[in-house]
């Protein structure tokens, strides 16, 4: 089978607040692949996701990132998003006063505009949100509330998943998508994510625990420690890690 690379990270070095966190990180994700990155707390997993999305304050000092062959590092955060990079955040922020539906509509239309598609009108948009929302147990009332304001941990994660389902990104990065979720909520979120697996969309699933990977089964598992990948394998590596912990990789230093 012919593999088309979607994301190519080469020897990436990045720092935040003058502290080097990512040190020589390389990874290629082809279209349709699901990669899991596992690592101990503080390894730099969230930092990696922010660097991929261009969050201000995260400085790349060396290396390259290509997305569909384009230099991702020269793009603004919004350009990356429009190109199809989506970050399902570990701690989604609250935006008081802005109804979730309004926010979503702006996002959808910004991305459609980028791809030269006509804007969705309110009716079309609401229809789409209702359909996708239903699958995730998100009702019409919830999307009237301001973005993430007063949402429970589970609601926040479901809203992140809803956005992913609506924006249909080529690459979804999930940062600790299971944190703060009970098993039922976890299943709902995982189902939403799995629904996007169509053989072309790719995912980078970042997690500390193996649990999530029972529901979102990865094609590849990478162990991330000391700022880069120290070991790669298939889904069985995750089970191995669950048993033995990260000690062996951290001590390696």
Distance CA 66, CA 63 (A): 10
Judged by CB under 8 A, the chain residues 148 through 167 that form the site for another protein are: 163, 167
Question: b vs e for 36-72, b when ≥16 Cβ sit within 10 Å of the residue's Cβ?
Answer: bbbbbeebbbbbbbbbbbbeeebebeebebbbeeeeb
Part of the chain binding ligand ADP (CB under 6 A), chosen from 44-52, 133-141, 212-220, 242-250: 44-52
Q: Which of 18, 19, 57, 198 binds another protein (CB under 8 A)?
A: 57
Part of the chain binding ligand ADP (CB under 6 A), chosen from 39-47, 145-153, 166-174, 187-195: 39-47
Q: Tell me: does residue 49 bind Mg ion (CB under 5 A).
A: no
Looking at the Cβ atoms of 114 and 235, the one nearer to another protein is 114
Q: Tell me: does residue 87 bind another protein (CB under 8 A).
A: yes
Q: Tell me: does residue 42 bind ligand ADP (CB under 6 A).
A: yes
Contact in structure between 224 and 230 (CB atoms under 8 Å): yes
Q: Tell me: does residue 46 bind ligand ADP (CB under 6 A).
A: yes
Cα distances from 89 to residues 35, 53, 74, in angstroms, run 17, 11, 22
Q: Tell me: does residue 44 bind ligand ADP (CB under 6 A).
A: yes
Q: Which of 43, 81, 129, 136 binds ligand ADP (CB under 6 A)?
A: 43
Q: Tell me: does residue 172 bind ligand ADP (CB under 6 A).
A: no
Q: Which of 28, 30, 64, 102 binds another protein (CB under 8 A)?
A: 102
Distance CA 160, CA 154 (A): 10
235 binds, among Mg ion, another protein, ligand ADP, none (CB under 5 to 8 A by kind): none
User: CB of 249: closest distance to ligand ADP in angstroms?
Assistant: 13
User: CB of 222: closest distance to ligand ADP in angstroms?
Assistant: 13
Part of the chain binding Mg ion (CB under 5 A), chosen from 43-51, 54-62, 122-130, 148-156: 43-51
Phi, psi of 178, rounded to the nearest 5 degrees:
-100, -5
Residues lying near ligand ADP in the complex (CB under 6 A) are found at: 16-17, 19, 21, 39, 41-47
Residues lying near Mg ion in the complex (CB under 5 A) are found at: 46
Residues lying near another protein in the complex (CB under 8 A) are found at: 53, 55-57, 76-78, 81-82, 86-87, 89, 92-99, 102-103, 106-107, 110-111, 114, 146, 163, 167
């Amino acid at each position: 089978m012919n593999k088309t690379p979607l994301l190519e990270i080469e020897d990436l070095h990045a720092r935040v607040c003058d502290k080097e966190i990512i040190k020589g990180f390389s990874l290629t994700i082809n279209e349709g692949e699901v990669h899991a990155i596992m690592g101990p707390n503080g390894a730099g997993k969230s930092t990696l996701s922010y660097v991929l999305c261009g969050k201000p304050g995260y400085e790349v000092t060396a290396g390259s990132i290509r997305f569909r062959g384009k230099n991702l590092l020269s793009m603004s955060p919004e350009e990356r998003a429009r190109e199809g990079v989506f970050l399902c955040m570990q701690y989604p922020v609250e935006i008081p006063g802005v109804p979730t539906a309004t926010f979503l509509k702006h996002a959808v239309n910004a991305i459609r505009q980028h791809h030269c598609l006509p804007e969705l009108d309110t009716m079309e948009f609401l229809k789409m949100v209702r359909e996708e929302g239903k699958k995730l147990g998100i009702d019409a009332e919830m999307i009237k509330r301001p973005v993430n304001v007063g949402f429970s941990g589970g609601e926040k994660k479901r809203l992140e998943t809803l956005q992913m389902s609506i924006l249909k990104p080529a690459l979804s990065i999930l940062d600790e998508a299971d944190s703060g979720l009970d098993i039922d909520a976890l299943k709902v979120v995982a189902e939403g994510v799995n629904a996007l697996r169509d053989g072309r969309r790719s995912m980078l699933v970042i997690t500390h625990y193996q649990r999530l990977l029972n529901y979102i089964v990865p094609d590849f598992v990478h162990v991330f420690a000391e700022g880069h990948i120290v070991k790669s394998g298939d889904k069985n590596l995750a089970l191995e890690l669950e048993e033995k912990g990260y000690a062996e990789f951290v001590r390696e230093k």
